[in-house]
Structure 1
Amino acid sequence: MLITVLGLSVAMALLLVFFLRQTRVRFVVELREGTTEVRRGDPPAGFVRACADVARLYRLRQGRITGVRTGDGIELRFSDDIPSRAHQPFRNVWTPPPSDGPGGGRRAAG
């Protein structure tokens, strides 16, 4: 009985960790043959267009850029198909949308 409860607890913990990691992914942009396609989420349109430009500049055939929410904002992560020399140009075109948190937010209308 104890082994069953322990096994069930471990399975629930693993499921919770998996769920929490998936909710941190804000968007996924896929690069394929000179085009960009949003696979998940809603990244800024300007970023998606700029990704196409960077991919064309570096002659990237395929790859995936994932935006992951962290405590400091959104961090870009790259698939192994994207060489490390191309990471910084993608980071340079990333402009995070304005936040609604302290010190930022929307202007009053009216």
Structure 2
Amino acid sequence: MSRLHAENHLVSRVGWLRAAVLGANDGIVSTASLIVGVAAANAAASNVLVAGVAGLVAGAMSMAAGEYVSVSSQSDTEQADLAREKGELATQPDFERQELAE
């Protein structure tokens, strides 16, 4: 008797998790480095705080813009592939059927 075995693999989430961990690590390291650099210049505590907040905001905006560009370019690539495949299905259906079978 064949039993259906529902197995949940987490590998589908690895890309998201990797991006989150690397983004958080980058944000922590770059902001901490900025704060240490400003503090090492004997700046007032309020200046260190302002530099830290400015670094956090700039880092967040940079990460958001980078992610938007990344997702947009991936979407554009996938749409171009779909359009190409639709064209091939319309002009070469037998070849596409054979390609799928292989």
The question of a shared fold, defined as TM-score above 0.5 by the shorter chain, is answered with no
**TM-score band w.r.t. shorter chain:** 0.3 to 0.5
With the length of structure 1 as denominator, give the TM-score of the two structures.
Answer: 0.32
From the two aligned structures, give the one with the greater helix fraction. Answer: 2
RCO (CA 8 Å, sep 6+): is it higher in 1 or 2? 1
